[in-house]
Amino acid sequence: MLTGASKGMGKAMAEALAEHGAKVVISSRKLDQCEAVANGINEACGAGSAIAVACNAGYKDQLQALVDATHDALGPIDILIGNAGVNPFYGPMSEIPDEAFDKIMSTNVKANHWLCQMVAPDMIEKGSGSIMITSSTGAFAPSEVLGTYNISKLADIALVRNLAAELGPKGIRVNAICPGLIKTDFSQALWDNPEAAQRANEQIPMRRLGEAEDLKALAVFLAADASSYVTGQALTVCGGAHMWS
């Protein structure tokens, strides 16, 4: 089950999981976009590979309805990717309205907390499962224009680590995926300009910006038994732009 899966990185990760045999639930706010992605996956991977469920991740009742719909259609949940995120404000934290601050923290952090509470019982009963939460390399540094967003993404890493400690003894792995600057609609204001292209070509070791498809392999790895000894980690997909010792 994936949130924020109707476009960009979420869509790419859903496609990758389906290509490797998983049955996926595509969710985002707009049902028509979810259905378009699900139809494409079903055409490529076979009927029944994907279903679409509309869900605004900022509302607990809608998240519970998403989990319930997933149970009704596919049974217990084995894999969760909390990918939905928002950033309604661009500017210094000294100027962010309370409403924008609350929306960022609620959707980017609290919604993932809620989802994990709702889905973990399935995995605990089975004794295995994989949870992934999309964070960001923005979590690793301050920003004069994306401060609250970066705080929310660092909080996601803290959430992942705590859940990994709590759920590891029950066989459940929890990891954060930290994309760098990826060419998606969500981040278009950050990459669709000559300065960003120049920085990518001069400063990123791989000499390019990321693409949504760059997230596919990591999502499959973390979902599979191949990563059975990987938990509590913040794994970057950034072309080498963020290296840590």
Catalytic residues: 149
Q: Which two tokens stand for residue 129?
A: 């499962």
**Cβ atoms 164, 229 nearer than 8 A:** no
Tokens at 242, concatenated: 């963020």
| Beta-sheet pairing, 129-134 with 172-179 | parallel
Instruction: Report DSSP letters for 186-234, one per residue.
Output: TTHHHHSSHHHHHHHHHHSTTSS-B-GGGGHHHHHHHHSGGGTT--S-E
b/e per residue 22-58 (b: at least 16 CB within 10 A): bbbbbbbbeeebbbbbbebbeeebeeebbbbbbbbbb
For tokens 């949870």, what's the residue?
131
